[in-house]
């Protein structure tokens, strides 16, 4: 009886181990499932990354927002060694879509600011917000995790409020802080 139970346990352990290995999604499967429209060259390069970790997932998610030319360039330069590191991820730019309403830029700024901000404050106190944003632009180096991005967003905010912004509605920036993009788990 004991011998039979140990045999059954051994078989169950083997099956459980095989099932857990079979469940690990590869980067190629993730790209095919999530971003089927991604460039074929990029997809094949990313396929070399093997089993997907959090860094590879973040890398693929960011890469998918870029133009096909940028995708090819970054995929070949960063994925060819077969793994993605936090430093590689920091090198990859992110496309940031700007909202049509300048007030919504404040929400983008608060994602990168170290100080708290109150939702809806803009609508109630627009003059105070304009003063506050000028102050935030002057103190960006100590206030923001990513000062250059936030200065750019503040410039765009004022240009949009004045009706003078005719630039792109999507800007590309490079995160300068390692903690800006944490995995969402």
Domain-wise residue ranges, the chain: 24-91+99-177
pLDDT at 127 over 90: no
Q: Whose CA is closest to 152, among 130, 162, 167?
A: 167
Mean pLDDT of 68-74: 84
Q: What is the pLDDT of residue 181?
A: 47
- 43's enclosing H/E stretch is helix 40-47
pLDDT at 101 over 90: no
Percentage of residues in the chain with pLDDT exceeding 90?
6
Average pLDDT, the chain: 76
In tens, the pLDDT along 158-182 reads 999 889 998 888 887 776 655 444 4
How many Cβ atoms are within 10 Å of 4's Cβ, its own excluded?
Answer: 8
Mean pLDDT of 22-45: 84
Distance CA(152)–CA(99), nearest Å, equals 14
pLDDT at 156 over 90: yes
The pTM of the full predicted model, rounded to 2 decimals, is 0.56
Q: Helix, strand or coil for residue 40?
A: helix
Q: Whose CA is closest to 79, among 39, 117, 107?
A: 39
């Amino acid at each position: 009886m004991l011998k039979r139970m140990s045999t059954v346990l051994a078989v169950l352990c083997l099956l459980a181990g095989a099932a857990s290995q079979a469940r690990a999604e590869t980067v190629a499967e993730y790209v095919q499932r999530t971003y089927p429209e991604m460039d074929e060259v990029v997809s094949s390069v990313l396929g070399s990354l093997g089993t997907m970790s959090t860094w590879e997932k973040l890398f693929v998610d960011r890469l998918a927002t870029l133009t096909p030319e940028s995708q090819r360039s970054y995929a070949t330069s960063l994925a060819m060694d077969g793994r993605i590191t936090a430093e590689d991820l920091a090198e990859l730019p992110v496309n940031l879509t700007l909202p049509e309403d300048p007030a919504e830029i404040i929400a983008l700024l608060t994602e990168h600011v170290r100080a708290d901000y109150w939702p809806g404050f803009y609508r109630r106190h627009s003059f105070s917000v304009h003063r506050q944003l000028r102050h935030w632009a002057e103190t960006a180096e100590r206030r923001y995790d990513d000062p250059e991005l936030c200065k750019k967003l503040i410039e765009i905010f004022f240009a949009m409020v004045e009706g003078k912004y005719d630039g792109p509605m999507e800007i590309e920036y490079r995160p300068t802080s390692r903690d800006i993009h944490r995995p969402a788990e």
